[in-house]
Amino acid sequence: MKQIALYGKGGIGKSTTSANLSAALSEKKLDILQIGCDPKHDSTRMLMRGEWIPTVLDLIRENGEKNLTTEDIVHKGYNNIRCVEAGGPEPGIGCAGRGIIATFQLLEKLKALYGDIIVYDVLGDVVCGGFAMPMREGYAQEVYLVTSGDFMALYAANNICKAIARLSKRSKNRCRLAGVICNSANIEGERELVEEFARSINSEMIAFIPRSKTVRVSEVNKRTVLEYAPESEQAEVYRELADKIINNRPAADKTPTPLEMDELEDLALRYIKA
């Protein structure tokens, strides 16, 4: 079983990429479980044809953990992809990270944490103990950073990289930086910038996903690109990403080297010009 996580800044395209990746993987007859670990809880919506599935945290609050079954929390979407949303705390109180922990514990208890590939879609703006939990506890074994050439997206990716560098040394099931995915924001020089960022942190850019109208059109039709526009160029991009990820075997001894703030600023300055 391969357990991969997509981490990145909010709004960067983690859920879009995760859902299309899962759909592309499912075309290969692989059994896929996608777990949304973002309080926004829309990770699996396109796989569920627009349906907002109940979140694990809401279900626990309403019914109590003991009364929940696998059918309550795991929902079958496109191509039988199993979909779960951890959900978020009640506004003003509670911890989103605890929701992720509660979700994983419940899935383990119900023996529902299985499949050929598990895709964790995790918010990476705050790399606190809560959101780092999938890496710390050995769930997120291969971590992909989703970024664009936007400075704040790179800043978030670099912070996640710092967490991986720290955690990979001490966790039992070493989590590894598996690569950088550039989800384009149509910024000039973006490909080169993200490629160099990836090299600087001792990784590589494994995919460049163009900004595409097909994504938006599929989204308003409540489908992944793979389902709504299977013949499109964009669908092919996600299929190539799926192949890369299946065949990727990140080396255990390759430790990420996050940048210092001034190095990151210098890097951006070289590529982002007036």
Q: Which residues bind ligand SF4 (CB under 6 A)?
A: 95-97, 126, 128-131
Cα 95 from Cα 149, distance rounded (Å):
30
In whole angstroms, the minimum distance from the beta carbon of 142 to ligand ADP comes to 18
Binding footprint of Mg ion on the chain (CB under 5 A): 14-15, 38
In whole angstroms, the minimum distance from the beta carbon of 238 to ligand ADP comes to 10
Among 15, 22, 79, 158, binds ligand ADP (CB under 6 A): 15
By beta-carbon distance, which residue lies closest to Mg ion? 15
- When CB distances are held under 5 to 8 angstroms depending on the partner's kind, the choice from Mg ion, ligand SF4, ligand ADP, none that residue 12 binds is ligand ADP
Nearest 5°: the CA angle 18, 102, 158 is: 45
- The residue among 99 and 149 lying less far from ligand SF4, judged by its C-beta, is 99
Q: Which residue has the tokens 């929902």?
A: 75
**158: Cβ–Cβ under 8 A, 6 or more apart, which residues?**
197, 201, 258, 259, 264
What is the longest distance spanned by two Cα atoms in the chain? Answer: 58
- When CB distances are held under 5 to 8 angstroms depending on the partner's kind, the choice from Mg ion, ligand SF4, ligand ADP, none that residue 130 binds is ligand SF4
Catalytic residue annotation: 9, 14, 40, 125
- The residue among 11 and 189 lying less far from ligand ADP, judged by its C-beta, is 11
Site for ligand ADP contains 168 (CB under 6 A): no
Whether residue 119 contacts residue 139, with contact meaning beta carbons closer than 8 Å, is answered with: no
Q: Kindly determine how many residues on this chain lie close enough to bind ligand ADP according to the rule CB under 6 A.
A: 15
What tokens were used for 88?
């978020």
> In sequence order, which ranges of the chain are alpha helices (DSSP H)?
14-26, 56-63, 70-73, 96-109, 129-136, 151-170, 190-200, 213-220, 225-228, 233-247, 261-271
Helix (H) / strand (E) containing 89 = none
Site for ligand ADP contains 219 (CB under 6 A): yes
Among 3, 16, 158, 232, binds ligand ADP (CB under 6 A): 16
- When CB distances are held under 5 to 8 angstroms depending on the partner's kind, the choice from ligand ADP, ligand SF4, Mg ion, none that residue 216 binds is ligand ADP
The torsion angle over the Cα atoms of residues 199, 201, 205 and 206, rounded to 10 degrees, is 120
**Binding stretches for ligand ADP (CB under 6 A):** 8, 10-16, 183, 209, 211-212, 215-216, 219
